[in-house]
Each structure stands twice: as structure tokens, then as C-alpha cells.
Amino acid sequence: MKRRYVHIIFGCAALGFALLAAYHGARLEHARQVNDAIKRAGAVRIDPVQIEAARLDTSVPEAVFARALALSAIGDYRDAAKTYKTFVQDKSSGLRTDALFNLGNLYLQEALENGSEAAIRSLPLIELAKQSYRDLLRDDPMDWDARYNLELALRLAPEVSDAAIVESGPEVWNRRVLRATPGFRIELP
């Protein structure tokens, strides 16, 4: 009788370990699929012509995110921003905060493409970058990279209250432009 219980306990333990091994095996296979999809999406970095030719597995969100990274690396800001916005709209996505950060960086890089002096002409892009960083900080207030980049964007385009504009007229804007252009170097983390 005692021997029978030992065999039952051993069988249950073996079954539990077999289920655990199967679970980790399935996770490993999923990780391999994600890595393969990212590798195919990362091939876009090599040649812009391969963007359409790359067989992208859209069921793997990480691969779509890697494609957006590759698009931004080759300078296709419009398609990269469109892809990031799909992640931003999905509140349950684990990649939402990363997409918000990269979207803000994308807007800021596009605004700074011709240097910090030309960034003043790109105020709408800087405002979009600031909004993206603020949305990220609402979700994750401890994201220090987003705080740093928001500070850089605020240095480029400081915010002036509406009351200051009404009281002092357009000269506030002249001071704003002069204050934002002195030579400080913009580097994103």
C-alpha cells in the first residue's frame, strides 16, 4: 500500500514536470518565431526596396515594431510614424510606451534634420514630440529618457502662456525664438 502511494506521487511529479517542460518548450518556440519575424523585418534596413518584399508576419507585434524601427532608420518617417501610431492606439499593447517614445524621437529627429536653427521652423513637429513624451509620462512617470527628451523639446520650443501673449504682444515670440536658438547640442538617448 505504501509503495503504491510512492508510485502515484512519483507519477504526479513526473506529469507536473512534463507539463512544465511542454510549457517552456512552447514559449521557446514562440520566441524563435518572434526572432525569425524580427530578422525578416530587420532585413528592411539593408535596402529600401526590400520593404515591400520582406515577408512580414503581422501576427507578431514585435516584428511590426522592428519594421517601424527599420523604416525610421532609413528615413521613411511617414510610414514609421503610421506604424508606431497603431501601437499607441492599442492601450493594452506591451509596446505602447516604447512606441510613444520612438514616435516622439521620430518627430524630434525630423524637426532637427537641418539643425537646431531650422527646428524653429518645425514647431508643429516639436509640439507633436512633446505631446508624445507627455502621453508616455502619463503612462509611466518614471521614464527618465522621456523626461530628458521632453526637456530638450521644451528648450527648443518653450511654452508661453496665453496671458503672456496677450499682455506683451508679439515681442514674447521674438524672445522665444532667440532663447531657443543659442548653440546647445541636441542628442537623444
The pLDDT tens digits for 147-185 are: 999 998 888 888 776 555 556 555 544 444 444 455 555
Give CA–CA dist 150/146, Å, rounded. 6
Q: Alpha-carbon torsion 101, 104, 108, 109, what sign?
A: positive
Shared domain for 102 and 46, answered yes or no, is no
Q: Identify which of 85, 105, 104 has the alpha carbon closest to the alpha carbon of residue 95.
A: 85
pLDDT digits (tens, 9 = 90+) for 18-48: 999 999 999 888 878 777 766 665 554 445 4
Shared domain for 46 and 131, answered yes or no, is no
> Does residue 81 lie in a domain region?
no
- Range of the structural domain that residue 180 is part of: 87-189
With DSSP H G I counted as helix, E B as strand and the rest as coil, what are the percentages for the chain, rounded to 5?
A: 75, 0, 25
Choosing from 46, 74, 102, the residue where a domain stops is 74
Choosing from 51, 74, 97, the residue where a domain stops is 74
pLDDT digits (tens, 9 = 90+) for 61-96: 787 888 888 888 888 888 889 988 988 888 777 788
Choosing from 27, 42, 74, the residue where a domain stops is 74
> Does residue 44 lie in a domain region?
yes
